[in-house]
Amino acid sequence: MRNKWKVSGERWKCGGWYFVCLLLMLLSCTPKDQKLQQYFIKGEELYSKHCSNCHQADGSGLGLVYPSLNKSDYIDKNLEGVICLMEYGKRGEIIVNGKSFNKSMPGIPSLTDLEIAEIATYLYNNWDREKGVVEEKEVIEALKKCKSK
């Protein structure tokens, strides 16, 4: 006959480990992580709708017509400039990875500050970048600066 206590104890050990693992997973999902995930997912949707036609879904750009975003020294060094480009667009030359691009980029003034923050969060946490959440207040400040120029 099998010992009831031993079987129950084994079940508790198994269930106890399951509980510990579940608890650790829940604790690792901080509100900041959830916000990053939310912004990233929404940013990916918005990127697909507004940006991927020219810059491609994988961010590779289109030859010398539209610059890549996935490996871009311009993006890496110009968060405020990227935010301004989304809102106001750009006419004239831009240098990305040492290559000249001179095709105008229309701005998307219909995007809200939050949507720009979401797209920026997607760009800056994709393709080997790990900036974290681009906050809406960062977008507001960046847009004030580029509007005053």
Q: The CATH number of the domain where 107 resides is what?
A: 1.10.760.10
- Residue 135's pLDDT band, with cuts at 50, 70 and 90, is very high
Secondary structure of residue 96 in the 3-state scheme = strand
Decide if 15 is inside a domain: no
pTM: 0.78
Collapsing DSSP to helix, strand or coil, 65 comes out as: coil
Residue 81 lies in a domain: yes
Lowest mean pLDDT among 93-97, 112-116, 120-124, 144-148: 144-148
Q: Is residue 9 part of a domain?
A: no
Torsion angles phi and psi, residue 96, rounded to 5: -130, 125
* Weakest mean pLDDT among 14-28, 30-44, 71-85: 14-28
56 in any annotated domain: yes
Q: Per the domain annotation, does 24 fall within a domain?
A: no
Structural domain includes residue 85: yes
Amino acid at 90: K
pLDDT over 80 at 89, yes or no: yes
Task: Count Cα atoms within 13 angstroms, Cβ side, for 102.
Answer: 2
**Residue-wise over 31-54: b if at least 16 C-beta within 10 A, else e?**
eeeeebeebbebbbebbeebbeee
**Parent domain of 72:** 30-147
* Maximum pairwise Cα distance, the chain: 85
pLDDT surpasses 50 at 23 = no
Residue 98 lies in a domain: yes
Tell whether the model's pLDDT for residue 88 goes beyond 70: yes
Within-domain flag for 23: no
Nearest CA to 121 out of 41, 32, 9 is that of 41
Task: Tell me the mean pLDDT in the region 77-100.
Answer: 95
Q: How many domains does the chain have?
A: 1
Rounded Cα distance, 135 and 120, in Å: 9
